[in-house]
Structure 1
Amino acid sequence: MSNLVTTQKNGSLAKSDRYADFPSWSNWIDRMFNADLPSIMMSNYNTGMTLPKVNIRETADAFYVDMAVPGMKKEDFTIDLDNEVLSISSEKNTENEHVEDNHIRQEFGYASFKRTFSLPEYIEESKIKATYKDGILSVHLPKKEEAKQKPPRTITIS
Structure 2
Amino acid sequence: MNVIKRNDVLFPSLMNEIFKPDWFGGLENMRTNVPAVNIKENEKDFELELSVPGRSKDDFSIEIDDNVLTVSAEVKTENDVEKDNYTRREFGFSSFTRSFTLPKSVDSNKISANYENGILKFTLPKKEEALPKPKRTIELS
Give the alignment's TM-score, normalised by structure 2: 0.74
Q: CA deviation at 1:96?
A: 1.1
- 1-structure distance, mates of 2:139, 2:19: 68
Q: Give the letter for the 1:91 counterpart.
A: E
Give the alignment's TM-score, normalised by structure 1: 0.67
- Unaligned stretches of 5+ in structure 2? 1-14
Deviating beyond 3 angstroms after TM superposition, the runs of 4 or more aligned structure 1 residues are 31-34, 46-49, 99-102, 154-158
Q: Give the match for residue 21 of structure 2.
A: 36
Structure (1 or 2) with the greater strand fraction: 2
Residue 106 of structure 1 pairs with residue 92 of structure 2: no
Residue 94 of structure 1 pairs with residue 72 of structure 2: no
Question: Aligned pair count?
Answer: 123
1:111-158 deviation digits (Å, cap 9, x = unpaired):
11111100012211111111000110001111111101234x364786
**For the aligned residues, what is the CA RMSD?**
2.8
SS of the residue aligned with 2:122?
Answer: strand
- Unaligned stretches of 5+ in structure 1? 1-30
Identity across aligned pairs (percent)? 41
Q: Give the letter for the 2:105 counterpart.
A: Y
Larger-gyration structure (1/2): 1
Residue 122 of structure 1 pairs with residue 111 of structure 2: no
Q: Give the match for residue 117 of structure 2.
A: 134
Q: Give the letter for the 1:122 counterpart.
A: S
